[in-house]
């Protein structure tokens, strides 16, 4: 299950209390103060785990709490410092203070962020010795650790995001190119959460692909599944814009393309400036001789060069997936080679 939001409280550890103690040595039964300081409380550290793609581990979590520092001891022994609590998160996680809405961290690959600092240890009574008080019976408690209620939002970091209207065949294409197993059926909104798949080109090359749930007119204003998923497109390097060659509602691919592009631009003008491949899907539903004309017609309506713009495929029959994959790789790696080593997933 893909989980892209979580809310929970983080509590750093309290510092250990200082100790009240006195030296009791053989020839000094009433020695001076010897109470040690308390140890430092554990920090809460957010660490990016590059292999994570979801916040599923935090579903149902209410509190994440580091341990307290150890108390000071006699003979000036310092209390043990508590270990840090490491919270692993996927790259692309935005961390907000849920009470103020302030952005606390925007986690990139390999980041480590101390989000809540442990309290300092209290002072033992040795600190309070003076010329007028040789036997102080005073120590201080450890300081409390920081505590925050966090709201996490995951913006996917993927090489390429699949966008399009509901039922355009995005999930089928993801399954055909990767070993991802999204729910697939012939009705709108089959995909209710973003799906991630990894396409292994060879031992050294791979593409991380994201199937973004279908967008509808008004998505940028919250219609359908819109706002929750538009933000994921912001963290993809490029876009595959998937169009149904034979829309069941009688609409045209060009009109559907403009609908989605309009919603992308209303959400963020940057989205329409991402590198893009226009893909005409479900050509298995057309007669073979109709496919070239469908590509030419769509290219003409959208004013794109058919050699560089529209590519016709069938995710269901896997027709033309190799040329699509070559185009995807070269879009992200213009100086790279082809993908002859790629094999269809078993």
CATH for 47: 2.70.210.12
Residues 109, 20 within the same domain: yes
Task: Please tell me whether residues 253 and 328 are part of one structural domain.
Answer: yes
DSSP one-letter string for 265-291: HHH-GGGGGS-EEEEEE-GGGS-TTHH
Domain count, the chain: 2
- Do 143 and 209 have their domain in common? no
> 310 and 168 in one domain?
yes
Supply 282's token pair: 């479900």
Q: Under DSSP, is residue 256 helix (H, G, I), strand (E, B) or coil?
A: helix
Torsion of CA 184, 312, 309, 226, to 10 degrees: -20
Report if residue 246 sits inside a domain.
Answer: yes
> Is 342 inside a domain boundary?
no
For residue 186, pLDDT beyond 90: no
| 338 lies in some domain | no
Q: Is 9 exposed, middle or buried (0-12, 13-18, 19+ CB in 10 A)?
A: middle
- Percent of residues, the chain, with pLDDT higher than 90: 42
Distances (CA, A) of 170 to 39, 89, 210: 54, 27, 9
Q: Are residues 192 and 235 in the same domain?
A: yes
| Structure tokens, 226 | 């819109």
In this structure, the answer to whether residues 170 and 262 fall within a common structural domain is yes
Residue 319 has pLDDT above 70, yes or no: yes
Q: Is residue 214 part of a domain?
A: yes
Q: Is residue 303 part of a domain?
A: yes
Intra-chain end-to-end CA distance of the chain, in Å: 22
- Single out the residue in 154, 174, 200 at which a domain terminates: 154
Confidence label for 117 from pLDDT (cuts 50, 70 and 90): very high
Helix, strand, or coil (residue 13)? coil
Whether the pLDDT of residue 225 is over 60: the answer is no
Residues 205 and 133 in one domain: no
Q: List the domain range (segments joined by +) for residue 39.
A: 1-154
Report CA-CA distances (Å) from 281 to 5, 247, 256: 31, 10, 13
Instruction: Please tell me which of 202-206, 286-290, 340-344 the model is most confident about, judged by mean pLDDT.
Output: 286-290
Considering the domain architecture, whether residues 220 and 318 belong to the same structural domain is answered as: yes
The pLDDT score that the predictor gives to residue 180 is 57
Does the residue 344 lie in any domain?
Answer: no
The pLDDT of residue 7 is 94
Do both 83 and 216 map to the same domain? no
> Among 187, 234, 186, 236, which Cα is nearest to 210's?
236
Same domain, 170 and 47: no
CATH number at residue 306: 3.40.50.300
Q: What is the pTM of this model?
A: 0.64
Q: Are residues 224 and 198 in the same domain?
A: yes
Give me the helices (H) in the chain, please: 170-177, 226-233, 253-267, 290-302, 321-332
> Which structure tokens are listed for 21?
């103690």
Task: Say yes or no: 305 and 167 in one domain.
Answer: yes
92, 119, 154 - which closes a domain: 154
58: in domain: yes
Of the three residues 126, 154, 182, the one that is the final residue of a domain is 154
Q: Give the tokens for residue 130.
A: 């003076």
Cβ–Cβ < 8 Å for 122, 16: yes
């Amino acid at each position: 299950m893909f989980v892209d939001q979580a809310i929970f409280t983080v509590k750093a550890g309290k510092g250990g209390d200082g100790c009240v103690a006195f030296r009791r040595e053989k020839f000094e039964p009433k020695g001076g103060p010897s109470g040690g300081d308390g140890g430092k409380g554990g920090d809460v550290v957010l660490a990016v785990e590059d292999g994570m793609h979801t916040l599923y581990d935090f579903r149902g979590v209410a509190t994440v709490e580091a341990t307290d520092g150890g108390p000071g001891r006699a003979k000036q022994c310092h209390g043990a410092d508590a270990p840090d609590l490491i919270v692993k998160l996927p790259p692309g996680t935005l961390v907000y203070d849920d009470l103020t809405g302030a952005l606390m961290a925007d986690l990139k690959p390999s980041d480590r962020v101390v989000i809540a600092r442990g309290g300092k240890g209290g002072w033992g009574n040795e600190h309070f010795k003076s010329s007028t008080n040789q036997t102080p019976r005073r120590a201080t408690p450890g300081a409390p650790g920081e505590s925050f209620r966090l709201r996490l939002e995951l913006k996917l970091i993927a090489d390429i995001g699949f966008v399009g209207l509901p039922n355009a065949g995005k999930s089928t294409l993801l399954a055909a190119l990767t070993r991802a197993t999204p729910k697939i059926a012939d009705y709108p909104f089959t995909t209710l959460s973003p799906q991630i798949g990894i396409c292994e080109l060879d031992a050294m090359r791979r593409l991380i692909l994201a199937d973004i749930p279908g967008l509808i007119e008004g998505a940028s204003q919250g219609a359908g599944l819109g706002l929750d998923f538009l933000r994921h497109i912001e963290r993809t390097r490029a876009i595959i814009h998937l169009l149904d060659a034979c829309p069941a509602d009688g609409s045209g691919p060009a009109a559907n393309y403009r609908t989605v592009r309009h919603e992308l631009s209303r959400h963020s003008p940057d989205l329409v400036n991402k590198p893009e491949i226009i893909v005409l899907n479900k050509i298995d539903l057309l007669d073979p001789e109709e496919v070239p004309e469908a590509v030419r017609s769509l290219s003409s309506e959208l004013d794109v060069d058919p050699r560089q713009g529209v590519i016709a495929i069938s995710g269901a029959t896997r027709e033309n997936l190799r040329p699509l994959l070559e185009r995807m790789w070269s879009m992200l790696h213009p100086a790279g080679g082809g993908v002859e080593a790629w094999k269809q997933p078993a």
